[in-house]
Chains A and B, each alone.
Chain A
Amino acid sequence: MAPRMTTQRRVFKGLGNGVLVLMLLWTAIPFYWMIATSLKHDKEIYGYEATLIPERPTLANYATVFRETPYMLFLRNSVVVAVGSTVLSMVIACLGAYAIARLTFPGRALLARGLVFTYLVPTSLLFIPMFALMSVLRLTDSLHGLIIAYLGFDVPFCTWLLMGYFKSVPVELEEAARVDGCNRVSALVRVVLPMSLPALVVVTFFSFTHAWNEFLYAHVFTSTTSARTVTTGLVNFMSQDVFFWGPLMASTVMSALPPVLMFLVFQRWVVKGLTLGGVKG
């Protein structure tokens, strides 16, 4: 019996290694192509002299992006929108999640249900009326408009994630603080929030990267360069008559870097948060 087991194990181990190599290639090759293109001269990108590996790597495409395109402006806009919507949704979500997790009032369960429901309604069902709403409020072509619009996704999601975490903070700790004279708000700030640090990290990661990656609202609500974020700015480069893959890939590499770095740093928490709530698939 025993030898059969070990042979079997070995076969599956070998099979696993084979599959792993294929998966790594499948994942890596597009990255490679993106980075390689960004480091090539036009001659190596198009035509007969096109290469698979950059022969004379150059940063010229990166220089072009900064010198000849409004990329810096897009970057700044993305940072403003991401930070703004993250801070706002954090405050709103912390208060809301605390109320649902700790306070008893009629309608509490209904609100919890409403939160999950709204978080699951995709933006592609809402962008048309949202466009009409933003037009009426004169919030198109504005970073404020985007910050507000993103709350529609961030707040339900963050509240939902925090709610579960707040519940796991022992009530006794908070009661002790309240005996010592803390009111509800200071108990939340001094006891519950510090104990929920991992959840706060996850929530910050999700709302920041959501704002950074969001495309549909940003694309629909902006029509001029001034309020474009990175995602819609790059797509707009592409849809213009003249676009070059070198600079476009250079800006793609740069725009993908912040969320990827954040993900690698916070990976452990993010994966945990993901299995709790689930996001984009």
Chain B
Amino acid sequence: MATSKTVSLTFPSSQRGLRWRPDRVQRFLMQDRALGYLFLLPAILVIVGLVAYPFAHAIVMTFQAKTAGAPGRFIGLDNYRELFDSEQFLRTVFNTVVYTAVGVGIKFLLGLSMALVLNQERFCNNLFRSFLLVPWAIPTVMSALNWRWIFDDSSGLINNVLVRLNLIDEAISWLSNPHLAMFSVIVVVVWQGTPFFTMSFLAGLQAIPKELYEAAEIDGASVLQQFSNITLPRLRPIFITAVMLSAILTSAAIQFVLVLTNGGPADRTMIFSVLAYHLALGGAQRLGMGAAVSLVFFPILVVFIVFLTRRMLREKGE
């Protein structure tokens, strides 16, 4: 590096510095460049072929009447017009927002409490931590199947226990009662997703220097004051990243609803990914309509995605 600086200083700026560098350096740089592209070629192919191209194709499809295997016919904005005229779609928008906001909100609060509790010192704490994180490691479909059985009308765990305790006379239809279905689905989302927040927050808590708390203690700050003046501000960056990431993934997670309620009863748990799935791969195979549903939600997601991309790159010093 030192040599190249001297070179560009010594020679007039009209002459390109590169030409005056020793041959070896130039060859090295050229090699670097070629090798860089060569090494990245497979990754670029994957990104273009499996993300960028399908995404572009999705946009095109939304303007088409298209079924699987057949070429699409251009129909302009008809898909979008039909969507915004349909009550089902408007209900889906509402449901998706509720499902995501409530789900992420509860996961956040529970995750924070879990992290605070696990950050205390106690006997066997590592064991408890490992155990509390296990729901995250279980395949989400398996959790959803298990919970569907827990919610089962006649023989599920919850109704079983409630009947035994004489709290109810008749079984409660957790998943098919229009007023309860969304609540039940969110319970499962929370059970599966809380450990993610716990893990993130616990890592954040452990990174806060102990000296800060010791100093606050000497100054006579109460535990609650320490929490609001040290813990919360220090965790803020992790809060933002975790919430955004979880919002993207929760809103897009399809398996819970698909396994538990399939969008019913009467569309009460219909969220956008499930509606897209039904339109595109249900009986009529309207790929264009399905793609349009996803695409309508993309602008909201993209705000989160761009914001997160920036944050994550900054954290890595890119």
Contacts and interface: CB of A to CB of B under 8 A. Distances in A.
B281 A220 contact: yes
Interface in A207-266: 209, 212-213, 215-216, 220, 230-232, 234-235, 238, 245, 248-249, 252, 255-256, 259-260, 262-264
Interface string B248-287: 1110111100110000000000001100110011000001
A25 B57 CA distance: 47
B153 to A, nearest CB: 11
Nearest to A249: B149
B44 interface: yes
B150 to A, nearest CB: 6
A267 B133 contact: yes
A242 B161 CA distance: 25
Nearest to A210: B139
Interface string B85-125: 00000000000000000000001001001101110101000
B167 interface: no
Contacts of A235: 141, 145, 258-259
Nearest to B118: A20
Interface stretch (B3-11, B12-20, B309-317): B309-317
B274 to A, nearest CB: 9
Interface of A: 1, 5, 8-9, 12-13, 16-17, 19-20, 23-24, 26-31, 33-34, 37, 45-47, 50, 52, 91-93, 95-96, 98-100, 103-106, 108-109, 111-118, 120-133, 135, 148-149, 151-152, 155-156, 159-160, 163-164, 167, 184, 209, 212-213, 215-216, 220, 230-232, 234-235, 238, 245, 248-249, 252, 255-256, 259-260, 262-264, 267, 271-272, 274-275, 277-281
Interface of B: 29, 31-33, 35-37, 39-40, 42-44, 46-47, 49-55, 57-58, 61, 66, 68-69, 107, 110, 113-114, 116-118, 120, 122, 128, 130-143, 145-150, 152, 154-155, 157, 160-161, 164, 191, 193, 196-197, 199-200, 202-204, 217, 220, 222-223, 238, 241-242, 245-246, 248-250, 252-255, 258-259, 272-273, 276-277, 280-281, 287, 290-291, 294-295, 297-298, 301, 304-306, 308-309, 312-313, 316-318
